[in-house]
């Protein structure tokens, strides 16, 4: 293979590799703390029972709030904490990551194929060697 064509194919496969590697890099370098539920969208305690249960000294927090057994001190005043005063924020990092994994397999496979082609082009393994002599039957 002439050097000019080898250089062209090497540059082309390197470019395809970086195009496929860009989504992988973008996903793997993303901040992990952005998947928390925003404070303004905190889930009330009554609606979060399917995802989380909070216990205080072995008793469910919801039962303690209904009985009025939890109090909070603010500015030398003691107030009873109600269930509506409690909001929960969830970290959805694991769910988002699991949902994006199948989408990242395609760029990962493309990176592997482009890297293999790049190595084959640089090593000269894709050179056309012509036909060999006929084999006597």
Residue pLDDT, tens place only, 77-98: 888 888 888 888 888 777 777 8
Q: What is the pLDDT of residue 73?
A: 86
In this model, does residue 130 exceed pLDDT 70?
Answer: no
What is the longest distance spanned by two Cα atoms in the chain? Answer: 105
Distance CA 23, CA 27 (A): 6
Q: Report the predicted TM-score, pTM, of the whole model to 2 decimal places.
A: 0.49
Burial class (CB in 10 A: 0-12, 13-18, 19+), 23: middle
Q: What is the pLDDT of residues 3-53, one digit of tens each?
A: 788 788 888 888 988 898 998 888 888 777 777 878 888 888 888 877 888
Q: How many CB atoms lie within 10 A of CB 13?
A: 20
């Amino acid at each position: 293979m002439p050097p000019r064509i080898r250089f062209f194919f090497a540059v082309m496969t390197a470019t395809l590799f970086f195009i496929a590697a860009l989504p992988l890099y973008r996903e793997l370098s993303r901040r992990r703390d952005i998947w928390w539920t925003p404070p303004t969208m905190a889930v009330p305690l009554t609606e979060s029972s399917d995802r989380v249960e909070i216990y205080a000294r072995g008793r469910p927090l919801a039962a303690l709030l209904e009985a009025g057994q939890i109090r909070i001190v603010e500015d030398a005043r003691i107030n009873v904490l109600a269930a509506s005063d409690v909001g929960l924020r969830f970290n959805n990092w694991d769910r988002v990551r699991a949902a994006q994994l199948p989408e990242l397999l395609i760029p990962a496979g493309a990176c592997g194929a482009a890297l293999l082609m790049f190595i084959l082009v640089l090593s000269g393994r894709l050179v056309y060697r012509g036909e060999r002599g006929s084999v006597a039957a």
